[in-house]
Structure 1
Amino acid sequence: MEDTTINLSTTAISTTATTTTTTKKENKTLSSKFKSPFKSPKLDDATLINISTLSTPIRSCSTPKATTTTTTTTTTAHPMIYKKITKTDQEEIILKKKNMLLHNELVNQIKSYERENNELKRMQKFITNDYSRGGGEGSTQQLIKKWRSISQMTMSYLLNSISCKIDKMGGYEEFIRKEFNMEKQKLEYHLDDGIRESYEEVMESEEFQNLNKDEQLEYQEQMENKLVELENFKTKQLERLENEFQSIIKNDSQGGLDMKQLAKRLKVDYSLVFPSEDGEDIQSQH
């Protein structure tokens, strides 16, 4: 029995010894330096200082509040100095205005001359291009003749058609009489209606009714005087139309409507369409 107890104690001691040795080995391995596969960078003094500042609390890194400085500026108001305008100053101002008006007038004249110059340049360019194409002055004259011949034929057609209508109306004298009667009616209508309507509107207005009797009578007299003046004007205009009618009848009733009268009614320059003997030839034909 004693032998067995001794063996058990020895085994226990040996196991404790082995456990102590293993724990020592583990402690040695843990206490040994750990070698990382990555190389750590070398830190100099500047980086160490930066790390030390980062390790400080946040309140140490916070920026201080900016101090605001207020500057007060004092402005001294200068008194207004009024200069008395003398006679010479007024003359200078008037002279400056006159010079400005003269300058504007000269500028407008220069612009008009420039426009005329540009038109002449365009005409010269057209003529030179015409010559360069081999036409020369002859081709331009040919175009002018074509335009005149077309205009003359058109006016002759209009003259014939209008003359036929005038004959159906009863002749040239009756045609002129109807025209003047229409002009008289227009004149009487515009004058009479306008005057009468304005006179009635004034008499029926509240402003006129609010006036006293003396003022109303005075105003009525003024309106009646205006009516008399307008009646005199109307009679003069009617007399003028009658005189024109009589002069046209005396001068043009025998020949009737001719090419010159037609050009005047159409507002066409007769000399431009019929410069020389062409007009007489066409008039004789028609």
Structure 2
Amino acid sequence: MNSTAYNYNKFANFDEAADSILKMMSKILNINTLFIAKNDQKTNEIVKVVNHEDILLKKGDALPFEETFCKLSVDFGKKVLFIPDITKSNLTNALDVTRNLGSGSFVGLPIFYEDGRNYGTICGLDTNPFVLTEEHVELFETMSSVLSYVLELDDANRQIQTLSAPLVPITAGVAILPIIGNINEFRLNTIIQLALTKSESLSLEYLIIDLSGILQINDMVSESLLKIASMLRLLGVTPILTGIRPDLALRAINTNADLHSVKTVANLESALKTIGFTLSRDRGTGTSSRSLL
């Protein structure tokens, strides 16, 4: 019995999912232009678009939200809006975009966040009239639901990534960045952005990067650490790596990473001592709490 292996793509974020969905829909629907638009209730911007023969829209095109077909789709609610002839519909015949197109059909459906806020729309547009079947309507409804779901996953993932790499100020000019879990490309970009923006806003002199929560270290992780350290030095911030467990140290050596250019110490207390701070036990209260002197 013969078998066929098929490849499938894993979506890293909403952008990749939207791009793949439009390309898939363009193979099914006989519509010249399929697009996804995002709006802030003021401006409607095309974020993804697939054109066949005529270039009706381009990525980055933007119009006032009130003057777009997308506004009509959002106002129509959680249902597919289909306008077979944009020149004859009372909804569209007076719009400038209709006069510019001259003729054609439009279909659109809003994309919502889980809390009911509108992200934008997924739409089809053609200067030639097209027919929309029940199956086509179901396709738009399904893809809108998928994109809404991916939006929520994106938002949840960003929150998780932020929580798993919080930058904590310790004292003036000093902060610690504990990194927890695995590092992938998305997390790397989040950590770099966090480290750079917070270092500048807090006027840091030292940033202690705690690696004790990292699950594994490989070439990408090692290169990422060197990249973060180099960028921090460009800002005038001294990076200090701490919490490298023995197993991580062995893996770092096996990856041939040149971490000698980055200052590394065993733990947070050692890191603070290297920059002139000490931790002492408060014996006067009889407690085991520690305070920074």
- Superposition TM-score, scaled by structure 2 size: 0.18
Higher helix share: 1
Higher strand share: 2
Q: Which has the larger radius of gyration?
A: 1
